[in-house]
Amino acid sequence: MTVLVTGAAGFIGFHVASALLARGERVVGVDNLNAYYDVDLKKARLARLEETPGFTFHRLDLGDRAAAEAAFDRIGPLDGIVHLAAQAGVRHSLTEPHAYIEANITGHLVILEACRRLPDLKHLVYASSSSVYGGNRKLPFAIEDPVDRPLSLYGATKRADELMSAAYAHLFRVPMTGLRFFTVYGPWGRPDMSAYLFTKAILAGEPIRVFNKGDMRRDFTYIDDIVQGVLAALDHPPSDGGEDAPPHRLYNLGNHRSEPLMRFIGMIEEACGRKAKLDLLPMQPGDVRETFADITAAANDLGFAPRTPIDEGIPQFVAWFREYHGA
């Protein structure tokens, strides 16, 4: 099987591409290596993938429609696409909104249009986000819940991706699965996310910025569990149920545990062997107080079974951080 992984130099894309290669698939990686965060980290992930037989890479900006269309002609036949490239981050969407439209809307449409034209394609799996649940108060967040109250442009673009995909699955009958990821962390993780920011500051003896004075809860999901869910989704393309049931499904991929932020910080302190200096701040615009994934559908349809509590995942992340940074 040949699988295109977009965002292959990114955190989740790197791990998904590695897992696909490990089970013997050919992987075509795509990424624009943008400077949203440390490009050296993206290059280091890519260098690892490039050591593995079966991996090829195309540097490509999916927001550049003409370049992307030309690249798809060069890439050739594909059996599956795992589309993870995006402008991520809730807070950044308040200051750089256009980056989200280019990467998450134009980039997503470029992938949908490519799907129409790839005769051998069996399945598109794409990243959505828990951010689509926005201001919902009912917990845990379930796939059937209404998702029309986004709290950030990031969340709105991810919901738009789901709706665009539903339309394309209806029109062109390409099987598609959208995965709503819940706060993913682990080795090779993103420098703009809490596990990385907190670990870096604690090891440097600097204060950590804790929003809503720490009164938040997150469903923190370890990267290996996410990879298991992405591969399981790829292996289970939805069937076409006819006019009223196009081949499009959505699933939550979370750990199904809503952890208090202060417990998460406590785990990092323990793994670092140091206490954090807390800079307690008010709630940030765009943020949600709590996330908690109902994973019933993913468990039933995909056999998704997250097994890494933060007590195990955080020490593994901190060990990677120290080794990678020599800290």
Ligand X SMILES: NC(=O)c1ccc[n+]([C@@H]2O[C@H](COP(=O)([O-])OP(=O)(O)OC[C@H]3O[C@@H](n4cnc5c(N)ncnc54)[C@H](O)[C@@H]3O)[C@@H](O)[C@H]2O)c1
Closest CA to 287 of 184, 186, 164, 152: 152
DSSP string, 2-68: EEEEETTTSHHHHHHHHHHHHTT-EEEEEE---TTS-HHHHHHHHHHHHTSTTEEEEE--TT-HHHH
- Catalytic option among 37, 133, 154, 222: 154
For residue 174, the minimal CB distance to ligand X (Å) is 19
For ligand X, the closer CB: 129 or 255: 129
Residue 13 makes contact with ligand X by CB under 6 A: yes
32 binds ligand X (CB under 6 A): yes
Write the binding mask 125 to 144 for ligand X: x where contact by CB under 6 A, - elsewhere: --x-x---------------
Q: Which residues contact 254 (CB under 8 A, 6 or more apart)?
A: 130, 180, 181, 182, 183, 219, 221, 291, 292, 293, 295, 306
Considering the rule CB under 6 A, would residue 11 count as an interface residue with ligand X? yes
Q: Kindly state the helix (H) or strand (E) to which residue 114 belongs, with its residue range.
A: helix 107-117
Residues binding ligand X: what is the number (CB under 6 A)? 29
Q: Which is nearer to ligand X, 35 or 242 (CB)?
A: 35
Near ligand X by CB under 6 A: residue from 183, 199, 228, 255: 183
Binding mask 262-301 for ligand X (x = CB under 6 A): ----------------------------------------
Binding mask of the shown chain, residues 207 to 246, with x at each position contacting ligand X by CB under 6 A: ----------------------------------------
Q: Estimate the crossing angle of helix 194-204 against helix 310-325, to 10 degrees.
A: 60
Stretch that binds ligand X, among 18-26, 80-88, 232-240, 297-305 (CB under 6 A): 80-88
Contact status: 184 vs ligand X (CB under 6 A): yes
How far apart CA 219 and CA 217 sit, in angstroms, is 7
Q: Is 154 an annotated catalytic residue?
A: yes
Three-class HEC string of 165-226: HHHHHHHHCCCEEEEEECCEECCCCCCCCHHHHHHHHHHHCCEEEEHHHHCCEECCEEHHHH
Q: Does 147 bind ligand X (CB under 6 A)?
A: no
**Binding residues for ligand X (CB under 6 A):** 7, 9-13, 30-34, 42, 60-63, 84-88, 103, 107, 127, 129, 181, 183-184, 190
